[in-house]
A and B are shown apart, each in its own frame.
Chain A
Amino acid sequence: FRVEFTKVAADPSIVNLGQGLPDISPPSYVKEELANVAAVDRLNQYTRGFGHPSLVKALSQVYERVCGRKIDPLTDILVTVGGYGSLFSTIQALIEEGDEVIIIEPFYDCYEPMVKMAGAKPVFIPLRNKNDGNCASSADWVLDPGELAKKFNSKTKAIILNTPHNPIGKVFTREELQVIADLCIKHDTLCISDEVYEWLVYKGKKHIKIATLPGMWERTITIGSAGKTYSVTGWKLGWSIGPQNLIKHLQVVHQNTLYTCPTPLQEALARAFWIDYKRMDDPDCYFYSLSRELESKRDRMAQLLREVGLKPVIPDGGYFMIADVSTLNVDLSDVDGNQPYDYKFVKWMIKSKKLSAIPLSAFCGPETKGQFEKYIRFCFIKVNVLETINMGSMVKKGSCQKTTWWLVFF
């Protein structure tokens, strides 16, 4: 779906709230470091394949502090082309035919095809909304422990965890992680923990790394992303952190797929990390200040969505928000195709309202589409878009509810 919707939304006349693409500026020192790096000749040539030395050193320092354990920069870290590249390297390294991999729905859409490409079988388990009321929060979406336990068997090679969660924005609690950890240990299962939104956690919530739970470091690969950490998705740098006996296999995949990541970007990222590492006790550290900046955008978007009659689910983390669109009762009989409701809704919204978002059923397996098809996903790491919406909401409301809705989004 992604390629389909990105194409449509590449139309500049359409307000794109679909793709997870910041239009806020990265911090100035990040851009400056890249400009500084550009002037150094040797940084235009190949660097160490598994990760530029100054970058893996910086990553090991930051994560040693966060995890409270020693992390060897050369053996416990692999730098990859984005969090996406880490997912690919991990799955290719550790998953094969005959394996089952548990995927929590809704899920970041690449998990399923990557697992299938490795010849394994995806086994889905949905998050279920325990509160369908008006004050919905991502924390209301939970796994049923009994249901989860039934998904594990002797073939279960890994479970993919995504916290903070895309698209719902759920930040798994320690108790929830413990349930997953207990099952991983019991069934000797690996955990692939996609934590690219680890710093985007809102007030009152804490991001917990499952790798820090007892018995989990040795079986977990934790994935991070420069793109999400520093609002530089176009740098496509990510990393996998874990025990040497797992990371070494990811390194083998890496040396046989792209060998090395771009040098200047890695050096600039390393320098940015040092700046923030030194102020990890300071609230101005970008790791904390970005989430403060985004929290007000989150609240603004939720307010706007409510004003037009949608039911947003307030995320505890990440920069996505889902909203229930079924309440609007839009007539979609014109929209072609035998597709889920939310696909049709988004296509209608793009065409007639010049606004794009992503249908939630794109993020789930075939059995649960019915459960998720009344939701669509909005991205709120946007500056200009929210201002555009802001202007629209100043217009006088018409009598027809549909008209009101249109006016807000223009």
Chain B
Amino acid sequence: KMSRPVQARRLEGVDKNIWVEFVKLAATYSTVNLGQGFPDFPPPDFLKEAFTRALSGEKHMLHQYTRAFGHPPLVKILAQLFGKLLGRELDPMTNVMVTVGAYQALFCCFQAFVDEGDEVIIIEPFFDCYEPMVKMAGGTPVFIPLRPKAPKDGKLMSSADWQLDPAELASKFSERTKAIVLNSPNNPLGKVFSREELELIADLCVKHDALCISDEVYEWLVYDGKEHVRIASLRGMWDRTVSIGSAGKTFSVTGWKVGWTVGPNRLLQHLRTMHQNSVYHCATAAQEVVAQGFQREFERYGKPDSYFVQLPKEMQQKRDQLVQSLVAVGMKPIIPEGTYFLVADISEFKSDVPDVPNSDEPYDSRFAKWMVKNKVNASALFHRIYHGVFVPSRLAVLIRASSGGNTTSGQRPHPDPVLVWKKPGHCLSPW
């Protein structure tokens, strides 16, 4: 046994993780963490109040196991809400399953559906965990990039300008294609796939009898009046799609780790098998409170005081402010249609970032580390996740509430950290 490694072979090639690396680095340098995807503003008051109320009551069963596949009040309201959004009657017991964050939902999907020899199409740029999860399940990731179209003269690029080439996409489907992973709104670009783009993907899924794993965690963070179209609602797609959502992103409570899958029983039954053999139950209290949050939102759906209306409105302002700040320091931001991420072109800064001779570390990774050491942490995911297409010059930055202006909670605004990056001698911030 001494000659063989102690760990299982399924861990080969999945041991590196960019968040573990960067979060450690950010902590070391006490930087403002603009990279990792979580809000720095509080959850909405109604949710905090619900949490406090739940805990102050005498319901100590809130501290014991609940139904393994999802706390009944939560799966019921999810079935109601998503039934309405998808235009079909959903059974809370068989069409909905609660997971430990959307992350675990993704894990269950890959483990349940992907086998050795299967191919899974991943659209670049992608949330970094898709690739190692496919590999850990023994599958082969097949990448296809979103490609930028040049914007009109003088205008800033939008995430809508990044598109799949239909012929190229069609060529990626083969008889070994088990599934395609769709992430809309897309992290990190912020792209919100249009109905036509989704129909393109749907047609190929139907043609090749492929599944669609649809990561829609940012479904409520959509700007400029754009519509988030759910691929599961397209013709022929309900029966082959698992839609994934997240309370963390929906209600700005990433630390609660409550996610869910919605789909047909024939697919969810396998997710349940996977779930009962991996974590079995999810924590009860958070599910109870999220259920109450959803109940409130269901009653206010579409109304101006709905959190799902207010949050994107507020974030859109932050987005616009951040875009201005980045332009002011000479970066070229790509205006996101959704999510709270923004990608900016940093090629202008090459001269400022110290060159490291004999290093094969990509430019954007070095840039990001330079930013971290100099007080701002931004994610250098872009090179790593943009597989196969050499685009080293972009940097993903997170839009945060602290990017100027007042927050709804009345917090004192932080100085805009991005303005630090104006060339030396032109620093506009007291940072």
Contacts and interface: CB of A to CB of B under 8 A. Distances in A.
Interface in A235-281: 235-237, 245-246, 249, 252-253, 255-265
Contacts of B39: 45
A38 B48 contact: yes
Most chain-A CB neighbours within 10 Å: which of B48, B51, B55?
Answer: B55
B280 A84 contact: yes
Interface string B67-87: 110000000000000000000
A404 interface: no
B15 interface: yes
Interface stretch (A89-97, A204-212, A335-343): A89-97
B183 to A, nearest CB: 16
A35 interface: yes
Contact of B64 (A234, A252, A257): A234
Nearest to B278: A88
Q: Which of A31, A39, A42, A257 has the most CB of B within 10 A?
A: A257
Contacts of B6: 94, 190, 245-246, 249
A38 B254 CA distance: 13
A19 interface: yes
Nearest to A40: B42
A258 B7 contact: no
B372 to A, nearest CB: 17
A31 B7 contact: no
B1 interface: yes
A110 interface: yes
Contacts of A260: 101, 257
Contacts of A19: 65
Q: Which among A45, A188, A235, A259 has the highest number of chain B CB atoms within 10 Å?
A: A45
Contacts of A96: 8-10
A21 B10 contact: no
A81 B282 contact: yes
B257 A262 contact: yes
Interface string A26-52: 100011001100110111111111000
A48 B23 contact: yes
A118 interface: yes
Most buried by A among B40, B48, B63, B282: B63
A233 B65 contact: yes
A317 interface: no
Contact of A38 (B1, B9, B55, B133): B55
A25 B285 CA distance: 15
Nearest to B14: A256
Contacts of A22: 64
A3 interface: yes
Interface in B16-44: 17, 19-20, 23, 36, 38-43
Contacts of A257: 103-104, 107, 278
B373 interface: no
A232 B63 contact: yes
A261 B52 contact: no
A21 B285 CA distance: 15
Contacts of B257: 258, 260-262
A26 B282 contact: no
B55 A188 contact: no
B254 A81 contact: no
Interface in B170-189: none
B43 to A, nearest CB: 5
A22 B60 CA distance: 10
Given A38-B52, A231-B63, A264 B8 contact: no
A256 B132 contact: yes
Contacts of A154: 1
Nearest to A41: B42
Interface string A1-18: 011001000100000000
A249 B7 contact: yes
B281 A82 contact: yes
A231 B60 CA distance: 10
B100 A21 contact: no
Contacts of A45: 38-40, 253-255
Interface in A164-217: 188, 190
B8 A95 contact: yes
Point out which of B1, B64, B132 has the most chain A C-beta atoms below 10 A from its C-beta: B64
B103 A259 contact: yes
A25 B41 CA distance: 34
A94 B253 CA distance: 33
Nearest to A265: B283
A42 B15 CA distance: 28
A23 interface: yes
B376 to A, nearest CB: 18
B56 interface: yes
Contact of B60 (A3, A25, A117, A264): A25
B23 A256 contact: no
A234 B277 contact: no
A244 to B, nearest CB: 12
A264 B7 CA distance: 32
A113 interface: yes
A143 interface: no
A253 B11 contact: yes
A239 to B, nearest CB: 14
B120 interface: no
B280 A110 contact: yes
Contacts of B67: 10
B64 A232 contact: yes
Given A26-B63, A234-B65, A81 B285 contact: no
B119 to A, nearest CB: 19
A318 interface: no
A251 to B, nearest CB: 8
Contacts of B14: 252, 256
B2 interface: yes
Contacts of B19: 49, 255, 259
A44 to B, nearest CB: 5
A62 interface: no
Contact of B255 (A114, A256, A258, A262): A262
The 5 closest A-B pairs by CB, nearest first: A263-B255, A234-B284, A96-B8, A41-B42, A249-B7
Interface of A: 2-3, 6, 10, 19, 21-23, 25-26, 30-31, 34-35, 38-39, 41-49, 81-82, 84-85, 88, 92-96, 110, 113-114, 117-118, 154, 157, 188, 190, 227, 231-237, 245-246, 249, 252-253, 255-265
Interface of B: 1-2, 6-11, 14-15, 17, 19-20, 23, 36, 38-43, 48, 51-52, 55-56, 60-68, 100-101, 103-104, 107, 129, 132-133, 136, 248, 252-257, 276-286
Given A31-B63, A94-B8, A257-B104, 16 more contacts: A3-B68, A34-B55, A34-B285, A39-B52, A44-B252, A45-B38, A46-B38, A93-B7, A93-B8, A94-B7, A96-B10, A110-B277, A227-B65, A232-B64, A258-B107, A261-B100
13 contacts: A34-B285, A38-B52, A44-B252, A46-B38, A46-B255, A96-B10, A188-B2, A235-B285, A236-B283, A257-B107, A259-B103, A262-B256, A265-B285
